[in-house]
C-alpha cells in the first residue's frame, strides 16, 4: 500500500511538473458580469449587453454551426420543494430561449441544443416536456434550431474521438456523439451551483454530461458501446470499470478511485478535449449545497432570495473563477477549503492544462464589480419544507 501511494504521488508530481509552465502562462480573457434579478423583461437586454461587452455574438456565430451543451442535470421528475427544475438545478428555459434568439439575430446558420440525459435514449424534446418545459419555445426562437440527445450514437454512424492535448489527467481521449465535433462554435450553458464532488458547477463541470452512457455508463457494453444507454456515469466517480472496449481506457487504472480526485480531473480533461468557445452561466435563481435535489441531505435552496446574477465569457476557466468569487468562494482554494472540502479544485486542474487562469488579479471583469453582486451561498443553506 505504501509503495502504491508513493507511486501515485510521484505520478501526480510528474504530471503537475509537466504542466507548471502552462499553468503559469494560462491565458486570460474578460468576463461579463451582470445583475439580473428575474427571468422576465430584464433578461434579454441584459444578455445582449453582456455579449456586446465581449465583442459581439456576430463575430463568434455568424454563418456558423453552433453547438450548445445544456445543463439539464438529473431526472426531470426531481424537484427541490415545489420549484421547477429551471429555478433550481437546470439552466432556466428562458435563458436558453433568449440566447437562441440573440444568436439567430447575430446570423448563426444552425444551432444545436445538446444534452445527454441520465440513462435515457429518448428524444431531448421528451426530457424537456417531462420537466414542464415546451421545446417549441426553443425551436421557434431562431432559425435552424435542432435538439439532440447525445447519450448514444444518435444520427451518426460512429462516435467522434476527441483527444486531450498532453495526454490527460485520467483519460487520453474520449469517444463522443458526433455533435461535439461537427460544429464551428461550442457553448457551455449551465447553472451556477455547488457540486458534491467537484466543488462548483459552472461551465467546466457541465462537460461531464457530454459523455455517452453507452460507453461510460455502469451498464455500457463491455466489448463495445451498447446500442442504448444503461446506467449512469458512476464509473467516472468510482472507477469500478473501464469504458467499453475500443474506447480509450484510463491512463493509469491504479490511480485513486476517490470521486473527489477523479471527477475534477475528468471534467478538466473533457474541457481540454472539447474546447469551450463561450461560457454562459445562469445564476439568477439556483440552489445551494449540492448540484441537484437527488443529493440526500444536500437539498437546500436560497429561500426567499436569489443570487440574481448572469455571467458570460470566452474562456471557461476565467468565467468559472469569477463565478466562484460571486458565490463567495476563493477560486485559488483547494482540497480542504470551501467549496472543495472533499475534492480537488477543478479550476486548478483546468488551469494546469493551460486552458485559462483562475487568478482574479489577471481577469478583467466587465459590467458589475464582483463585490456588488457577491452572494454568500453558504449563508443561505436552508432546507425546504417537506
Span 40-49, pLDDT tens digits: 999 999 999 9
Residue 206 has phi, psi (to 5 degrees) of -55, -20
Residues near 21 by beta carbon (within 8 Å), at least 6 away in sequence: none
- For the chain, the distance separating the N- and C-terminal CA atoms, rounded to the nearest angstrom, is 46
- Which residues, other chains included, contact 2 with Cβ-Cβ below 8 Å and sequence gap of 6+? none
Compare 118 and 175 and report the one with higher pLDDT. Answer: 175
- Residue 50 in this model has a pLDDT that exceeds 80: yes
- Decide if pLDDT at 143 tops 50: yes
The answer to whether residue 4 scores a pLDDT higher than 50 is no
What pLDDT sits at residue 302?
52
* The pLDDT of residue 331 is above 60: yes
| Dihedral over Cα of 187, 188, 191, 192: its sign | negative
72/5 Cα distance (integer angstroms): 37
> From CA 239, how far away is CA 308, in angstroms rounded?
37
pLDDT tens-digit series, residues 206-230: 999 999 999 999 999 999 999 999 8
Report the pLDDT averaged over residues 256-262. 97
> Average pLDDT in the 133-144 region?
96
pLDDT at position 223 is 97
Whole-prediction pTM value? 0.92
| CB-CB contact of 365 with 322 (8 Å) | yes
Counting residues of the chain whose pLDDT is more than 90, the rounded percentage is 76
Domain boundaries, the chain: 2-380
As given in the structure block, the three cell numbers for residue 101 are 434568439
Quick check: 28 and 362 in contact, CB under 8 A?
A: yes
Instruction: Please say if the pLDDT value at position 93 is more than 90.
Output: yes
Decide if pLDDT at 259 tops 70. Answer: yes
Lowest mean pLDDT among 183-197, 217-231, 247-261, 289-303: 289-303
Using DSSP, state whether 176 is helix, strand or coil: strand
**If you count them, how many residues does the chain have?**
386
Count of CB atoms situated within 10 Å of the CB of 349: 26
Helix (H, G, I), strand (E, B) or coil at 69: strand
Averaged confidence pLDDT in the chain:
90
Q: Which long-range contacts (CB under 8 A, 24 or more apart) does 291-294 make?
A: 291/73, 291/89, 291/193, 291/194, 291/195, 291/196, 291/201, 291/205, 292/73, 292/74, 292/78, 292/80, 292/88, 292/89, 293/74, 293/78, 293/79, 293/80, 293/88, 293/89, 294/74, 294/75, 294/78
Secondary structure element (H or E) that encloses residue 316, with its range: helix 316-326
Q: Whole-angstrom Cα distance, residue 161 to residue 17?
A: 27
Amino acid at each position: 500500500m505504501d509503495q502504491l501511494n508513493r507511486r501515485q504521488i510521484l505520478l501526480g508530481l510528474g504530471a503537475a511538473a509537466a504542466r507548471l509552465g502552462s499553468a503559469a502562462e494560462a491565458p486570460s480573457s474578460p468576463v461579463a458580469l451582470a445583475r439580473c434579478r428575474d427571468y422576465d423583461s430584464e433578461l434579454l437586454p441584459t444578455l445582449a449587453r453582456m455579449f456586446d461587452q465581449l465583442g459581439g455574438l456576430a463575430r463568434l456565430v455568424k454563418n456558423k454551426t453552433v453547438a450548445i451543451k445544456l445543463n439539464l442535470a438529473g431526472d426531470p421528475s426531481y424537484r427541490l420543494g415545489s420549484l421547477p427544475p429551471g429555478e433550481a438545478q437546470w439552466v432556466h428555459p428562458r435563458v436558453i430561449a433568449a440566447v437562441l434568439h440573440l444568436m439567430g439575430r447575430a446570423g448563426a446558420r444552425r444551432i444545436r441544443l445538446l444534452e445527454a440525459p441520465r440513462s435515457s435514449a429518448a428524444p431531448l424534446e421528451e426530457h424537456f416536456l417531462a420537466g414542464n418545459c415546451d421545446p417549441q419555445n426553443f425551436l421557434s426562437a431562431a432559425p435552424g434550431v435542432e435538439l439532440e440527445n447525445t447519450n448514444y450514437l444518435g444520427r451518426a454512424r460512429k462516435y467522434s474521438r476527441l483527444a486531450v492535448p498532453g495526454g490527460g489527467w485520467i483519460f487520453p481521449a474520449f469517444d463522443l456523439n458526433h455533435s461535439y465535433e461537427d460544429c464551428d462554435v461550442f457553448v457551455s450553458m449551465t447553472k451556477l451551483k455547488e457540486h458534491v464532488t467537484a466543488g462548483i458547477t459552472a461551465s467546466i463541470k457541465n462537460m461531464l454530461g457530454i459523455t455517452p452512457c453507452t460507453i461510460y455508463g455502469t451498464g455500457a457494453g463491455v466489448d463495445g458501446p451498447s446500442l442504448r444507454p444503461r446506467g449512469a456515469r458512476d464509473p467516472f466517480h468510482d472507477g469500478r470499470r473501464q469504458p467499453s472496449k475500443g474506447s480509450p481506457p484510463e491512463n493509469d487504472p491504479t490511480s485513486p478511485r476517490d470521486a473527489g480526485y477523479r471527477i475534477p480531473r475528468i471534467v478538466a480533461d473533457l474541457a481540454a478535449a472539447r474546447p469551450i468557445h463561450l461560457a454562459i452561466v445562469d445564476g439568477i435563481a439556483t440552489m445551494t449545497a449540492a448540484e441537484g435535489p437527488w443529493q440526500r441531505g444536500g437539498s437546500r435552496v436560497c429561500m426567499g432570495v436569489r443570487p440574481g446574477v448572469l455571467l458570460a465569457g470566452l474562456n471557461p476557466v476565467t468565467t468559472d473563477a469569477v463565478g466562484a468569487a460571486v458565490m463567495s468562494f476563493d477560486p485559488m482554494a483547494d482540497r480542504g477549503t470551501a467549496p472543495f472540502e472533499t475534492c480537488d479544485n477543478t479550476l486548478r486542474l483546468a488551469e494546469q492544462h493551460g486552458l485559462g487562469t483562475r487568478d482574479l488579479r489577471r481577469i478583467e471583469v466587465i459590467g458589475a464589480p464582483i463585490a456588488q453582486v457577491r452572494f454568500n451561498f453558504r449563508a443561505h443553506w436552508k432546507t425546504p419544507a417537506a
